[in-house]
Structure 1
């Protein structure tokens, strides 16, 4: 499949997916939504892909929904179908990828663009990145998963503040709130992100997937439920070739050769 609004390449086990509508700060229209889903689906089905990095072309990550792509607003307009068909399926796909997904936020990150960043497992940002929930600025409630992901990162009160005000905040502020894992100089962002991604790509990616499942699903579980889930997931990990290789490499005092299975 040839993409019009997304760039896709794989190197050293890392799929780099780049939103590519730089003239509109990678605002999301129907084509971009469809192609981004297809790109994640391609990465998920490719055994050679062991980490995904999502970034934006040009001076920004993603400005959110392209409002010019909407039909004329009237009192009978319902956005629910658009949210379900464009954002819900895409965010669900991102959250359920079999490999780690890293956002490299290289500039403006607003609205549904912030939803995409939060749907990634971790986020790196350039020093010039700016974030805003933005939805309230045009009279909308949050979508693209932000009402789920944001409070889990910053807490309920702060999530409400950010959503109600739509205030713009910096990469450093995002880092202090726990939204962003690391902040880099603008020219170093993609280099450092890909270096980190390649480090993960040679690791036990099956164990990474199980780790994510444990941490995410145990977030609001009871202690007995969490302990039982850990036991079940450890049983899966214990049957993997990566576990056997890890133990053998430890005993032989060498670096393991993990295959993610």
Structure 2
């Protein structure tokens, strides 16, 4: 069984994550997503939409289950290797972001070429509020999208953005009406699919040249810092406060 489905609609494919309500990911989910997109690359798909079932697009990794920092490092290393595959996808991908794209879930959204969202969505690089380093390649992707200064601000402050704010900053590309971005994401994919497919793929290769390698290097650095910070008192405080929906009070240890 897999929590990823692929539905073809002509030259467009809708790739959907089925882990409602929060769509937390793990190695298996990212592996299945990468397999799904590589399968589309091998066919005649001209554009893909990445969507998610449930209340949120993706809330990242689930830390509610605990686990020793060493176990987290080992599992994250495998997960990041799979994540890099998403950045080598040849078909253009439009992410339909509703609800929350938080932490690694924001990283997943940023792996797509474009993001279509709604006003009520929430984009949140929450790592500093949890007490550990950003991951999922956001060190490479976030500055590309919003610029180095804005990326630093979002990471250092863990500031939440609405869908409207994300579009204004360039983190998202289009704002859809209502609460469901999927129809607008499909319309965007239709526009892409109407263009010459070989040309579009060639353009993507040029525009994103080296990005997968940048993400691979970034995730190595990210994981190294995550491994160090997961073992700190501040990280324990941040995760506990997040689970209890409280404001963390960090101690610098």
Q: Aligning the two structures, in what range does the TM-score lie when normalised by the shorter sequence?
A: 0.7 to 0.9
Residue 39 of structure 1 deviates from its aligned partner by 1.8
Structure 1: unaligned runs, 5 residues or longer: 220-261
Establish whether residue 89 from structure 1 lines up as the match of residue 87 from structure 2: no
Partner of residue 57, structure 1: 53
Partner of residue 156, structure 1: 148
Structure 1 pair 109–210 and aligned structure 2 pair: CA distance change class (3 A): same
CA–CA separation in structure 2 for the residues paired with 1:126 and 1:139: 29
Residue 131 of structure 1 deviates from its aligned partner by 0.6
Structure 2 residue corresponding to 1:193, chosen from 185, 209, 216 = 185
Moved more, 122-131 or 78-87: 78-87
Residue 26 of structure 1 deviates from its aligned partner by 0.4
Spell out the pairing of 1:117-128 with structure 2 (5 A cutoff).
117-128=109-120
Partner of residue 230, structure 1: none
Q: Per the alignment, in what secondary structure is the counterpart of residue 104 of structure 1?
A: strand
Residue 12 of structure 1 deviates from its aligned partner by 1.2
Residue 37 of structure 1 deviates from its aligned partner by 2.3
Structure 1 pair 136–187 and aligned structure 2 pair: CA distance change class (3 A): closer
Residue 7 of structure 1 deviates from its aligned partner by 2.4
CA–CA separation in structure 2 for the residues paired with 1:89 and 1:143: 13
Structure 1 pair 88–31 and aligned structure 2 pair: CA distance change class (3 A): closer
Question: In angstroms, what is the RMSD of aligned CA positions?
Answer: 2.1
Tell me the number of residue pairs that the alignment of Structure 1 and Structure 2 aligns.
211
Structure 2 residue corresponding to 1:141, chosen from 114, 120, 133 = 133
Partner of residue 239, structure 2: none
Structure 1 pair 208–70 and aligned structure 2 pair: CA distance change class (3 A): farther
Partner of residue 103, structure 2: 111
Residue 69 of structure 1 deviates from its aligned partner by 5.2
With the length of structure 1 as denominator, give the TM-score of the two structures: 0.74
CA–CA separation in structure 2 for the residues paired with 1:7 and 1:209: 23
Contact kept, 8 Å, 1:88 with 1:144, in 2: the verdict is no
Computing the radius of gyration from Cα coordinates, the structure with the larger value is 1
Structure 1 pair 213–31 and aligned structure 2 pair: CA distance change class (3 A): closer
Partner of residue 31, structure 1: 28
Structure 2: unaligned runs, 5 residues or longer: 212-253
Q: Per the alignment, in what secondary structure is the counterpart of residue 186 of structure 1?
A: coil
Contact kept, 8 Å, 1:19 with 1:55, in 2: the verdict is yes
| Higher RCO, Cα 8 Å, sep 6+ | 2
Contact kept, 8 Å, 2:27 with 2:82, in 1: the verdict is no
CA–CA separation in structure 1 for the residues paired with 2:44 and 2:65: 35
Establish whether residue 15 from structure 1 lines up as the match of residue 9 from structure 2: no
Q: Per the alignment, in what secondary structure is the counterpart of residue 67 of structure 1?
A: coil
CA–CA separation in structure 2 for the residues paired with 1:102 and 1:52: 6
